[in-house]
Amino acid sequence: MSEDNATKYREFCQFRRQIRGSSEYLIVGIDVAKTPHHAFFGTARGQSLLRRLIFENSCSGFEKLMERVSQLQTGHGLGKVVFALEPTGNYHKPLARWLQDQGQLLVLVSNHAISENRETLDGRWDKNDTKDSANIADLVSQGKCLFFEEPDEDLVELRTFLSLRKQLKKQAHSVRMQIRNGLVAKHFPELDQHWGTCMTENLAIVRWCLDPRMIVSLPFEAFVQRVTTKDRGLRQVKRLRKIHELSATSIGLPVNAAARFEAQSLVERFKDLEDRIKQTESKIQIVSRRFSAYSRLRTIPGFGPYVSSQVLARIGDPNRFQGRNQVIRLAGFDLNAKRSGKRSQSAVPVISKRGNSDLRYALFQAAKIASYHNADFRALFTRYLAGRQKERGITTKMRVKLAAKLLVIAWTLMRTDTDFNPSKLVV
């Protein structure tokens, strides 16, 4: 952790120890919106000083907030102030950055804690901006808040590229479903049964031969030449021959000019998205290589470029975690069970899923690859399954356990700046 972040973290830990019942702090709970924001001012002893201040999401609005803070500090003799925000998309980031530039103490309050605590204020679950800002301040007065991490520019850039990749992937999947469910299902439903994994051929059929009547009019060799760019062997020929045969008896609707234009537009859009995804992945690798830990993570079985970048981006500074349990909670792999009124043996623990879902998914994929292709991890996975092979869903559960172990290994390598050593893997 950088010296500046380390100092801020120590201040945060000290704040959490001192805040309960303190008479020194002015607590400013801010319900963040696109614009405007709502602020509540109170003390750690439950005193409300100003229930609502509405200020714009602009420099003048922020200055208005600070002016009222100064007035309340002077009027009530409060020497310290803490600002608390609920992370709301990207809306809170400009305000958070401005407050940090002013040298203010800033904390976050989790969305889940706010939801759970809302009803305790007045016994009602009613939600509004004024109540939410008071809710945030109430949680901070109990010390139930989170440290606001200030990552370096390279880490911010890496996370931004990963977020962009996720958005592009979602858009590409949406277009793919529009092609299959909006065009193929209507004009050539038999094609969906033989869609396959080669998107190049699929897109070529949709673009040039969406109408089965056009396929029928073409000799098989001409059809193959029209929709393929390379010879993929006998399997490819069998698939295309089956599609050519099915076109003769297709129940699809006629393809008019509008459908052909839609097919052309969707195929071009999908190809454009695929190109943008490749460019983004290239950028991700360029930024990832700036971190020495990236090459360390690549030595772990199952860790490819994407998984390594995802782990690197989410862990960030490995020294900000005090133990493996904190790292496991980061991905939501920590186990929870409802044991109230039950014997411990009858309570079935499940993972919380409260952490980062992208990190959790990437690690699960890494666990699958490692358990298939690496002898050491295959032996470890076999030991996990020993005596439990007949339990329902046990394979998935043990892969989740292996994914959590991979995360701890990755964190350890980042913290110690070493490569993966299979001899240290306890099988």
Q: Which amino acid is located at 180 in the chain? A: R
Q: Is the pLDDT of residue 343 over 70?
A: no
For 194-203, write each residue's pLDDT tens digit. Answer: 998 889 999 9
- What integer pLDDT is reported at residue 284 of this predicted model? 98
Residue 307, classed as helix, strand or coil, is: helix
Compute φ and ψ for 150, nearest 5 degrees: -120, 85
What integer pLDDT is reported at residue 124 of this predicted model?
A: 76
* Residues 6 or more apart in contact with residue 262 via CB below 8 angstroms: 182, 183
Looking at 289-393, list the stretches that DSSP marks H as alpha helix, in order from N- to C-terminal side.
Answer: 292-297, 305-315, 324-331, 357-373, 375-385
Percent of the chain with pLDDT over 90: 77
Amino acid at 312: L
What is residue 3's predicted lDDT score, i.e. its pLDDT? 58
Q: Is the pLDDT of residue 129 over 80?
A: no
Q: What is the pLDDT of residues 218-234, one digit of tens each?
A: 999 999 999 998 888 99
Q: What are phi and psi of 254, to 5 degrees?
A: -60, 145
Domain boundaries defined on the chain: 3-150, 156-285, 292-424
Q: What is the mean pLDDT of residues 30-36?
A: 91
What's the pLDDT score for residue 349? 85
pLDDT on residue 2: 60
Q: What is the pTM of this model?
A: 0.89
- Alpha-carbon dihedral sign for residues 384, 389, 395, 397: negative
Report whether pLDDT(344) > 70: no
Which tens digit of pLDDT belongs to each residue from 34-56? 889 999 999 999 999 999 999 99
1 pLDDT exceeds 70? no
Average pLDDT, the chain: 92
Cα 171 to Cα 163: distance, rounded to the nearest angstrom: 13
Helix (H, G, I), strand (E, B) or coil at 282: helix
* Residue 264: partners with Cβ closer than 8 Å, 6 or more residues away: 207
Residue 269 has a pLDDT of 98
Q: Within 13 A of 246's CA, how many CA atoms are on the CB side?
A: 20
Fold agreement (3-150, 156-285): no
DSSP state of 418: -
Most confident of 13-17, 236-240, 367-371: 367-371
Q: How far is the C-alpha of 200 from the C-alpha of 258, rounded, in Å?
A: 23
CATH architecture of 156-285: Orthogonal Bundle (1.10)
CA distance 173 to 378: 32
β pairing state of 350-351 and 335-336: antiparallel
Which residues does residue 26 pair with via DSSP β-bridges, in sequence order? 43, 81
Q: Write down the pLDDT at residue 8.
A: 82
Burial pattern 383-421, b for ≥16 Cβ within 10 A else e, equals ebeeeeeeeeeeeebbbbbbbbbbbebbbbbbeeeeebe
CATH number of 3-150: 3.30.420.140
pLDDT, tens digit, for every residue of 185-195?
Answer: 999 999 998 99
Q: Give 84's pLDDT tier (boundaries 50, 70, 90).
A: very high
Question: Using CA of residue 381, residue 383, residue 389, residue 393, what is the dihedral sign?
Answer: negative
**Residue predicted with more confidence, 283 or 195:** 283
Confidence of residue 176 (pLDDT cuts 50, 70, 90): very high
Helix/strand/coil (H/E/C) assignment for every residue in 166-231: HHHHHHHHHHHHHHHHHHHHHHCHHHHCCCCCCHHHHHHHHHHCCCHHHHHHCCHHHHHHHHCCCC
